[in-house]
Structure 1
Amino acid sequence: MGNENQVPVIENEKDVLEKYDKESRSRSYRLKPVSLIVSGIAISLSVYHLYTSYFGTLVTLQHRSLHVAVVLALIFLIYPAFKNLDRTKLHWYDVAFALLAITTTIYIYIDYDGIVNRGGIPNDWDLFFGAILVVLILEAARRVAGWALPTLGILFLIYGLYGNHLSGIFRHRGYNWEDIVNFMYVTTEGIYGTAIGVSSTYIFLFILFGAFLAKSGMGQFFNDLAMAIAGQTKGGPAKVSVIASGFLGSINGAAVANVVTTGSFTIPLMKKIGYKKNFAGAVEASASVGGQILPPIMGAAAFIMAETLGVPYREIALAALLPALLFYLGVIVQIHLRATKEGLKGISKDNLPKIMDVMKERGHLMIPLLFLMYMLFFSGRTIIYSAFLTIIVTVGIAMIRKTTRMTFKDIIEALENGARTALTVAIACASVGLIVGIATLTGFGLKLANAIVTLGGESLLLTLMFTMVACIVLGMGLPSIPTYIITATMAAPALVQLGIEPLVAHLFVFYFGIFANITPPVALASFAAAGISGGDQMKTGFISMKLAIAGFIVPYLFVYNDSLLLINTTFLEGVLVVITSIVGVGMLGIAAEGYYLTKVNPVIRIILFGGALLLMNPNWLQDVFALVIILFVVFVQWRKAKKEGGFNLPLKGFMEAS
């Protein structure tokens, strides 16, 4: 392997995070009083949300406006206007922006009765504060997430103002600035719509839950457990990356941050045992992105989906479970085949923690996750109350052992860290409120859905392909939560128009919106992984797509046959679906990697790919035909391997020491 076995000097973890994740470019004040004030505001925001999760929220408009205002104030105090500014100083205009943000909610509190009584007829003060809020949201989004979201927001505002001058299906009747500002500011349809509603309840609490888990040492527990389970197997560090990133990604919902957090540990280990740098980076990127489609939390997207569709959360989580597991199985199969093909070993058992030791030291940290699953699936309590109680349980359980015990300082820091982490999602949801608000006001979402259906003609497959492309484009450079909200508004209606069940349609667009993070040319998760591995960004992106091939195919299959989501099926049918899907993903991994016992020629790979699709699309006749293909391929490869004298079962050592 030459120099590939050496672990090169990688970019500093903080530098990589700041390069690809703008939300990490925050200030660190030199003056202690300023730092204390900012920390106090962040802690107060977390305490407020904990209080309202137990005792109930204020009136909807007041609660959401307070959430947005404090988030905006914190962003202006924490994030500098430009990346080259001194991050130890606070500028006067940032204080002015923060105070202006607070006035937008103070006005709503003071004149709430007037706003309600005016019934959508704004006065001058409504328009004044509404305009301020729109400008502040666009600027805050630029500081935190870059130009993608504010640019999209500005384009939609322009469309709202001047779309009546267009020709064709995207023309609307025309709206003036007063119409738009009124809709955005003093109703719960625009900025204070569903996106901010979910941000100010579910999302904030689950991010806060993640902050408390992090303080308890859950990240270290996941890494140690993954190392103990898979570290000594063939290609062990890569499997460790997949397991650890899946766990963490489901909780934090931040693909790029997950890549940097887990990848700074796993990518050098992968390179050390012989994986090429592009492949090592791709493993981490695909695994981190996959965490956002993995129940139970799915990066909080499951809760938004449940709110949007009006279905129980557990229905979303159960439907998403098998496709997510198939995604990860597809990644692990390719990792294992690559390790087998290149003779890569795992980590020495002597250098790995023992499972019992890991469980003894930190295993009790699983209790809050199990408790959360019980609350969400079986208790019958609300999601908000479940999240609140789980946070309390997390603090209590962490006290069991000294290594995980939280001091009062740790709890305060968790409250602050949770608020800081929530800023990105909250401002993204506020920006999405502008986009979705205009789409609702002008009917753009329905117009786009009609356009997609028209382009697809009578073909469901073409419509799905156009929808996939639209979702990937809409998801470029955006966090997972706003990506889902935008794609659910713009793209999912096209599939629903064709008679596809709403849940199936929303999962389809969610998958491809998320996979924008590993799809070139704008593949932020892959680019961040390449920054750590020292690999080529575009090559890492394309290898990430190959590793995630099951994730690109499964959504098409569950549209055609929703039994893959384990809905509309009996228990026995479900068992058969699980078995055939697992075998199908194994075949898909072999086709993608091009190795089974020995190198697989291109024709056999194509045959395998077809057989995999047959198995993953439940139908007994197709299953029989796919079984014939499997037996044929096994025979051909066995003969070829025997002739070459290199016969070795490819799955031997899959989860055993190499």
Structure 2
Amino acid sequence: MTHTSTSRWLQGILTLVAVALSVFQIWQGLSAQLSAPVFRPVHLGWVLVLVFLAYPLLKPERHSAPVYWVARVFDLALVVISGWCAMRIATFDYDDITFLLDGLPFWDQLAGGLLIVLLLEATRRTVGITMVLVALVFIAYALFGDALPAAVASKGFALEEMVRFHVFSTNGVFGAPLAIAASVVFIFVLFGAFLNVTGAGQFFIDAAFAVAGKYRGGPAKASVLASAALGSISGSAIANTVTTGSLTIPMMKKLGYKPEQAAGIEAAASTGGQIMPPVMGAGAFVMAQFTGIPYSDILLVSIAPAILYFLCTLLYVHLMAVKLGLQGMSSSEKVMVVLAQGWHFLLPLVLITSLLMLSYSPVWVGIAGCAAILVAAFIAGLSQRHPALNWRQIITGLKDGALMALPISVACATAGIVVGVVGQTGLGLLFTQFLLDLSGGQLWSVLLLVMVAAIILGMGLPVTAAYIVLSVMAVPAMMDLGISMLAAHMIVFWLSQTSNVTPPIALAAFAGAGIAGAKPMGSAVQAFKLAQGYFLIPAMMAFSSLIWTDDVSISGYLSALLATCALILAFAAAIEGHFASRLPAPMRAALLVLALAVLALPDSYRWIAGLVVLALLAVNVWQQRSSPASDPAG
């Protein structure tokens, strides 16, 4: 058998296994036939098999054929071992509780230990070495914590106890993070895959250009709108940057944006998709599991902050266009024409939003969304304006959905080890006390520490994993300082997204830089500036009533919204040094001071600072209109 035919044979197996996983997930979602102790090991075993097929140990282009195929044989051995471990754990007899007294039998202990090793290797291949190192540090703490100084010591657990707790229970690998990834998240990732293969994604991009293309800096504003529509569904800021950026970044450069600016705009907008309802990435579903709050409630309180984030990004985009003297696109498709050609693709989003708001099971909602997008694609094909739906698209969607879900499931399973160690050893209480002591009991200091921790963790962890780790460690400290549980989780959830746009490792910005032909670090700086909402809005969540809970009045909530708008306006104008026209240095300094005042003042006085911000900017608009010749860019 030749090298090419063997590769095709392995690709065929990969496609078959991936499609089978998606079909199995849909069947389980509809029937719920398998209990959690059976379903989760089966899901993870299937995921590990796919990882070792799709992510080879060695790259063929970097090694000779004999070396590469030796490595592939090793990968196939890992496939077999993964299947055996998953089968052993899924068929374990939990009704016989003697294992709690006498310990695990040898073969079960071996299967559990091997599963952890295989999971860490799969994590290394899909997510990176950093998360593996984080998990190993926590495992080492659980095993050898009794050898540490008394202030940070733990009991110190035997290897058998570790395997029993983290594999043969729902506290570690098979805990809440994997439970969400294996059910809800997988189905919504599959929904996103169907959107891509049916052409619905292109419709949302076209609609964004039709709405915003004719305005000043049109392609950049269209990029923000398209990313808001697609980002939450894609599940990955990097994937969204590459998908929409391949179209928007060249158009932004052609209009006059600098390459670094174009890459930064796309990265900031794509990252924002992760906090945009109705689907807010995997972390939001994990939040619902951790807090016990219905996802529909989380969705509702997330709408206004998400809109504020995109308004903040749009404001920066507009100010850049004003400074550069840019105009809109010379021609763009009319909105009604685009809607007439693809209105079918709006129906699945309307459906899943309505069902989520009505508190239907997220798994059922996701499956209904998958069915709806296929129906919409079929209707679009009947209109002869789009290619007819065919079986190849369905198979591709099923395969792509499974492969896109691999890093999420693996990361959540590994994050489950961290969560399990925190609970098993009592480390969470120690870290909470450490944060409170280090911050002196000051909320702003705790927020700063959590922000730094989020950026550092984000350098090597996916955003969902970073959220899981931070939530179990930092949320209790914020709650001790008076922040509600939902607000604390929302703050950590938002801050966990920042790694995609924050130097020195800003993966979404780097992806955009590759498309734009821009300097990676310059693109990261621009993305960081454009994504300021990821820092300003969580601060307002902490210091105001921006998260609407039962004890927040309507007047307090509206006041928080207006104050946040004033904060965004003041900060953006001060940083850019421009509004309707160039801002003098004293006015920029005054706006920065007012921005800090909006954060620091009590609720009853924030509106005063907000009014002063609006007054200063109104003066700038009046000056520009009274002497337009003084600033042609305006």
- TM, length-normalised to structure 2: 0.93
Matches within 5 A, 1:454-473: 454-473=437-456
Alpha-carbon distance in 1 for matches of 2:370, 2:259: 39
Displacement after TM superposition at 1:32 (Å): 3.5
Tell me, what secondary structure is at the counterpart of 1:111?
Answer: coil
Distance 1:221 1:237, change over 3 A: same
Displacement after TM superposition at 1:117 (Å): 4.7
* Aligned amino acid, residue 91 of structure 1: R
Deviation by residue 1:241-267 (Cα, 9 ceiling, x = unmatched):
111112111111201111111112111
* Paired residues of 1:320 and 1:565 also in contact (CA < 8 A): no
* Paired residues of 1:164 and 1:172 also in contact (CA < 8 A): yes
- Greater shift after overlay, 136-145 or 637-646? 637-646
Q: Does 1:292 align with 2:274?
A: yes
Alpha-carbon distance in 2 for matches of 1:116, 1:388: 37
1:96 alignment counterpart? 77
1:582 alignment counterpart? 565
- Greater shift after overlay, 233-242 or 616-625? 616-625
- Alpha-carbon RMSD: 2.4
Please, which of 371, 382, 388 is the counterpart of residue 367 of structure 2?
A: 388
Matches within 5 A, 1:529-548: 529-548=512-531
Tell me, what secondary structure is at the counterpart of 1:598?
Answer: coil
Matches within 5 A, 1:21-32: 31-32=7-8
1:627 alignment counterpart? 611
Please, which of 215, 220, 238 is the counterpart of residue 238 of structure 1?
A: 220
The share of aligned pairs that are identical, in percent, is 34
1:81 alignment counterpart? 57
Q: Does 1:224 align with 2:180?
A: no
* Aligned amino acid, residue 435 of structure 2: I
* Aligned amino acid, residue 115 of structure 2: L
Tell me, what secondary structure is at the counterpart of 2:379?
Answer: coil
Distance 1:344 1:131, change over 3 A: same
Please, which of 379, 400, 409 is the counterpart of residue 400 of structure 1?
A: 379
Please, which of 347, 370, 381 is the counterpart of residue 350 of structure 2?
A: 370
The aligned length equals 621
Please, which of 43, 46, 51 is the counterpart of residue 27 of structure 2?
A: 51
Displacement after TM superposition at 1:477 (Å): 2.9
Deviation by residue 1:107-135 (Cα, 9 ceiling, x = unmatched):
12443246655236322122101111011
Distance 1:370 1:472, change over 3 A: same
1:597 alignment counterpart? 580
Distance 1:28 1:254, change over 3 A: farther
Displacement after TM superposition at 1:65 (Å): 0.3
Deviation by residue 1:172-226 (Cα, 9 ceiling, x = unmatched):
1111211211111111101111111111110111111111121221210111011
Tell me, what secondary structure is at the counterpart of 1:419?
Answer: helix
Distance 1:546 1:86, change over 3 A: farther
Displacement after TM superposition at 1:304 (Å): 1.3
* Paired residues of 2:44 and 2:409 also in contact (CA < 8 A): yes
Alpha-carbon distance in 2 for matches of 1:628, 1:32: 67
Q: Does 1:357 align with 2:341?
A: no
Q: Does 1:521 align with 2:504?
A: yes
* Aligned amino acid, residue 157 of structure 2: Y
Displacement after TM superposition at 1:301 (Å): 2.2
* Paired residues of 2:210 and 2:335 also in contact (CA < 8 A): yes
Distance 1:482 1:116, change over 3 A: farther
* Aligned amino acid, residue 335 of structure 1: V
Alpha-carbon distance in 2 for matches of 1:245, 1:86: 41
Alpha-carbon distance in 2 for matches of 1:97, 1:545: 41
Matches within 5 A, 1:31-42: 31-42=7-18
Displacement after TM superposition at 1:539 (Å): 2.1
* Aligned amino acid, residue 517 of structure 2: G
* Aligned amino acid, residue 118 of structure 1: F
Alpha-carbon distance in 1 for matches of 2:503, 2:425: 32
* Aligned amino acid, residue 607 of structure 2: D
Tell me, what secondary structure is at the counterpart of 2:630?
Answer: coil
Distance 1:569 1:647, change over 3 A: farther
Matches within 5 A, 1:449-488: 449-488=432-471
Unmatched segments (≥5 aa) in structure 1: 1-26, 651-658
Distance 1:315 1:525, change over 3 A: same
Alpha-carbon distance in 2 for matches of 1:431, 1:62: 18
1:23 alignment counterpart? none
- TM, length-normalised to structure 1: 0.89
* Paired residues of 1:611 and 1:630 also in contact (CA < 8 A): no
2:43 alignment counterpart? 67
2:489 alignment counterpart? 506
Q: Does 1:256 align with 2:238?
A: yes
Displacement after TM superposition at 1:552 (Å): 0.7
Displacement after TM superposition at 1:103 (Å): 0.6
Distance 1:86 1:584, change over 3 A: farther
Distance 1:32 1:86, change over 3 A: same
Unmatched segments (≥5 aa) in structure 2: none
Distance 1:406 1:614, change over 3 A: farther
Displacement after TM superposition at 1:583 (Å): 4.3
- Greater shift after overlay, 476-485 or 323-332? 476-485
